[in-house]
Amino acid sequence: MRIAINLASEPFQRNRPMLVASTACAIVLTVLLAMQVFLILSERDQARDARVGVVQLNAQVSQLSAEQAQINKTLSQSANAQVLQRSLLLNALIERKSISWTRIFADLEQVKPYNVRVIQVRLPKINSRQEVSLEMTVGATDWVPITDEFAHRLEASPLFGPVQIQSFLSPSATEPLYQCRLTVEYAQKL
């Protein structure tokens, strides 16, 4: 038996670096696959926990809704409705009386420039978050003290919030001042 080997037609090949690189790539890909599987399983557990949490919260919401419906049913009875209306009225009156007009004017006096007059302060409004909003009319002999000085001082003060200018009125025969109606949030504690 004769084996035909022609070294000239089949030259020596260096396969060892290719085999080492292929083995290294296979190991890296196997590690990446294991990491992917781990991440997928952990995200599945987190999603399951989130679904359980949502189910629990929905159960709490439905329980609270049922309790609220029962309370509303009790309050809507004629005997309780009168007491509810009276208590709402008294609470609104107490809330309005809790605002100190003396403190409002003292705080305005601290930020008001000397050449700006407070002409009118309307009854403060209280929102559901217990924040007070003041609507006032101020006047000056020029626009600049109102828009530049007074508004900026209100916004820079820790007691007042952003200023919303509602309207401007020019001087007339009966009123010699430029008037500005503005609204500002006021940080008086109730």
For 92-117, b/e burial (b = at least 16 CB within 10 A) is eeeeeeebeeeebeebbeebbeeebe
Residue with tokens 């509303």: 72
| pTM of model > 0.85 | no
Work out how many domains the chain is built from and give that number: 2
User: 89-147: per-residue pLDDT in tens?
Assistant: 888 788 777 788 888 888 889 999 888 899 999 888 877 777 788 899 999 988 888 88
Question: In terms of domains, do 106 and 166 share one?
Answer: yes
In this structure, is residue 84 part of a structural domain?
Answer: no
Question: In terms of domains, do 108 and 56 share one?
Answer: no
- Note down the domain range covering 72: 20-76
